[in-house]
Amino acid sequence: MTAVWLRRLLLTQMTLLVFAGGVLAAFGHEVEGVLLAVFGLPFAYLVLTGLHVTLLSLWCARHAAPCCAGPARLRMWVNESWLQMRAFIWLQPWRAQTWPDSPGTPDDGPGVVLVHGYMCNRGFWNPLLARLKAQRTPWVAVNLEPMFGDISAYAPIIDAAVAQLAAATSRAPVILAHSMGGLAVRAWLAEHAAHAQRVAAVVTIASPHSGAWIARWDGSFNAAQMRPASPWLLSLQSRESRMRQPPIWCVSSACDQLVYPEQAALLPGALPVHVTGVGHLGMAFDPATWTALGAALTLASRRAHR
């Protein structure tokens, strides 16, 4: 359903831009009309990402916090704009099923459950799925639906994916989660103490573990849950404090334009993985994340041979 919604949104945006371009052309502004129709959507992504980068810079300046600056900020802005266009114009609306799940067999080693973030679907992971396939690592990539639903309600989706991989490989899988997906994984772990034993490790990427300041401007149900010190986050932290956790890696960056300060993406007791000069989406495909995933899979293999 998320892919369908994203297609409708994309087609609506393109229709409005073509219409607006046609109106400009009809009033004698042919060049401007063509430019708006053709380049309006990429320009909108540049502006939106630029707004988030500006808010990040202002927040860091106000709180005297470390921040992405200078050329790194410019590179991040351009790269994040491109990654958003790739994800929301192509991969998620149209290519979400390009790489079907590959649960593997007991001969393939431990697998990976991939959990996407807010307003996304499994198509977000396509570049990484190609790499997993090349190295014969089993995987299941979930769709968290409904898109704007309760984060806790995504737990059965994650549970089914973990069970599927464990049954196929006879090993506890690793979970790789981006952004809100990391909170969904934590909610699943907090459902039952036994869940920590069902996974070998968890890698979260740019997850708003302490909340996302920018979420206060979003009125959706799960965005409200991601606000700093929200009742949902405080309840989750309380439940976690009484439970044993699996090994966790937390990937973070001072250039994350959606989750800041960087400490908001870290969990107490987790292994921090700092990425330099990379934004919110880029961290999912950064070499440091791939290295952390490799370490988690190695840990999973050792655990299976005990």
How does pLDDT run along the chain (306 residues), one tens digit per residue? Answer: 899 999 999 999 999 999 999 999 999 999 999 999 999 999 999 999 999 999 999 999 999 888 888 889 999 999 999 999 999 999 999 999 999 999 999 999 999 999 999 999 999 999 999 999 999 999 999 999 999 999 999 999 999 999 999 999 999 999 999 999 999 999 999 999 999 999 999 999 999 999 999 999 999 999 999 999 999 999 999 999 889 999 999 999 999 999 999 999 999 999 999 999 999 999 999 999 999 999 999 999 987 665
So what's the architecture of 106-304 in CATH?
3-Layer(aba) Sandwich (3.40)
| Per-residue pLDDT tens over the stretch 157-177 | 999 999 999 999 999 999 999
- 184 neighbors 155 (Cβ within 8 angstroms): yes
Dist. CA 51–CA 63, nearest whole Å: 18
The residue ranges of every structural domain in the chain are 2-94, 106-304
Dist. CA 169–CA 191, nearest whole Å: 24
Residue burial 238-249, b: 16+ Cβ < 10 Å; e: rest: eebeeeebbbbb
| Per-residue pLDDT tens over the stretch 2-34 | 999 999 999 999 999 999 999 999 999 999 999
Tokens, residue 251? 């990937």
Residue that has been written with the tokens 């700093």 in this structure: 228
